[in-house]
């Protein structure tokens, strides 16, 4: 997005009106859901398995966005950036790393669920907690490494006599490092969606066929649960990540084939920035994934609810004391148990 096409920089226009309420909703819902999830993972789960380790990494990825979005909301409301160059670099780094990490971790969760259902005897479907930690560290390394150069460049620019912190606008300088960084960002944004989405669709199709072919064999509830997890992740991909990928690909095509078309460049750049509102909606939707994906998480969450909510969920229990019928049934059950034990001893 250099100025070689002669197009002037893109200012704060559509995104200043659309993004603040959308991002504020993302932050509120995301903080509530992920704070509860983090509390459950850290203090309520009695044991950990491979799946919960992957889900905890997804919570960490969500918090990377949730702590950075308030600064972006403030800048959009003011229409300029007041937090300096250092926080601008960190803000952009956290925002883009959140997208990559969320996509990667959701793909890992869906793939592991697919392996557990379709290939239960494979070594990959029986990863230990140590293997899960190693795989999570590897994913974070692959996610963070391409984004580190964001921290090395100054992204605060004077635009229309106001300081702005943007990565999607065209700047007057055309240094080779910045051009390489922007080009790599386009490639990462498109392919980090296309490749995982292809894997997710494959997992959903294979689990669906497995359910149709062997639904009555084994544990059909487990297969259906895996299917729901894959479908939910696919929906999150389509709603949250597809718009940004399409608009970024559009900018990529325009800059390559029609560099003189400033109108199209403006349109796709504005849509790309606005699509970030949907991009971070995944932080608010991910707690649904924790509920669907982990039975341990659901049980811990239910047990953490107030007693009156649990009673309402399970239905009315017995009264303060057993009535005549309960006493008789209890006595009969006791007698039957005693006779059974005597027969067993004989």
Token pair in block for residue 174: 């055309």
| Site of tokens 């819902």 | 29
Question: CB under 8 Å to 66, separation ≥6 — which residues?
Answer: 27, 30, 31, 34, 283
Token pair in block for residue 310: 């649990």
Token pair in block for residue 190: 């498109």
Q: Which pLDDT score, from 0 to 100, does residue 39 have? A: 92
Q: What is the mean pLDDT of each run of 10 residues along the chain (346 residues)?
A: 50 71 92 92 86 93 92 89 91 91 94 90 88 95 92 80 71 65 83 93 89 65 82 92 89 80 80 83 90 83 74 56 43 44 43
Strand partners of residue 165: 156
Question: CB under 8 Å to 110, separation ≥6 — which residues?
Answer: 199, 200, 203, 229, 230, 233
pTM of the shown model: 0.80
What is the rounded distance in angstroms from the CA atom of residue 320 to the CA atom of residue 29? 41
What is the rounded distance in angstroms from the CA atom of residue 118 to the CA atom of residue 208? 10
Whether 14 contacts 268, CB under 8 Å: no
Instruction: Give a three-class secondary structure readout of the chain.
Output: CCCCCCCCCCCCCHHHHHHHHHHHHHHHHHHHHHHHHHHHHHHHCCCCCHHHHHHHHHHHHHHHHHCCHHHHHHHHHHCCCCCHHHHHHHHHHHHHHHHHHHHHHHHHHHHHHHHHHHCCCCHHHHCCHHHHHHHHHHHHHHHHHHHHHHHHCCCEEEECCEEEECCCCCCCCCCHHHHHHHHHHHHHHHHHHHHHHHHHHHHHHHHHHHHHHHCCCCCHHHHHHHHHHHHHHHHHHHHHHHHHHHHHHHHHHHHHHCCCCHHHHHHHHHHHHHHHHHHCCHHHHHHHHHHHHCHHHHHHHHHHCCHHHHHHHHCCCCCCCCCHHHHHHHHHHHHHHHHHHHHHHC
Determine phi and psi for 279, rounding to 5 degrees.
-55, -40
């Amino acid at each position: 997005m250099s100025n070689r096409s002669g197009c002037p920089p893109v200012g704060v226009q559509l995104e200043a009106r659309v993004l603040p309420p959308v991002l504020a909703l993302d932050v509120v819902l995301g903080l509530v859901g992920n704070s509860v999830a983090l509390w459950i993972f850290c203090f309520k789960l009695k044991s950990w398995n491979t799946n919960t380790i992957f889900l905890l990494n997804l919570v960490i990825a969500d918090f990377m966005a949730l702590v950075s979005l308030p600064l972006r909301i403030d800048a959009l409301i003011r229409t300029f950036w007041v937090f300096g160059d250092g926080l601008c670099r960190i803000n952009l780094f956290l925002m883009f790393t959140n997208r990559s990490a969320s996509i990667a971790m959701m793909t890992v969760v869906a793939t592991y669920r697919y392996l557990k259902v379709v290939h239960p005897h494979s070594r990959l479907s029986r990863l230990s907690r140590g293997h899960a930690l190693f795989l999570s560290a590897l994913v974070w390394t692959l996610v963070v490494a391409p984004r580190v150069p964001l921290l090395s460049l100054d992204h605060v620019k004077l635009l229309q006599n106001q300081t702005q912190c943007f990565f999607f606008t065209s700047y007057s300088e055309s240094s080779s490092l910045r051009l390489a960084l922007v080009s790599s960002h386009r490639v990462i944004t498109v392919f980090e969606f296309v490749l995982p989405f292809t894997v997710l669709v494959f997992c959903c199709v294979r689990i669906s066929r497995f359910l149709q072919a062997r639904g009555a064999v084994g544990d059909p509830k487990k297969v259906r649960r895996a299917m729901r997890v894959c479908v939910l992740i696919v929906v999150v991909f389509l709603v949250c990540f597809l718009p940004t990928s399409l608009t970024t690909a559009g900018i990529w095509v325009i800059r390559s084939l029609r560099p003189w078309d400033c109108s199209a460049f403006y349109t796709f750049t504005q849509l790309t920035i606005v699509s970030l509102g949907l991009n971070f909606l995944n932080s608010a939707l991910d707690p649904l994934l924790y509920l669907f994906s982990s039975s341990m998480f659901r049980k811990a969450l239910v047990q953490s609810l107030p007693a009156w909510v649990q009673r309402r969920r399970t239905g009315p229990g017995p009264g303060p004391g057993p009535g005549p019928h309960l006493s008789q049934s209890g006595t009969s059950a006791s007698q039957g148990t005693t006779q059974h034990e005597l027969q067993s001893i004989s």
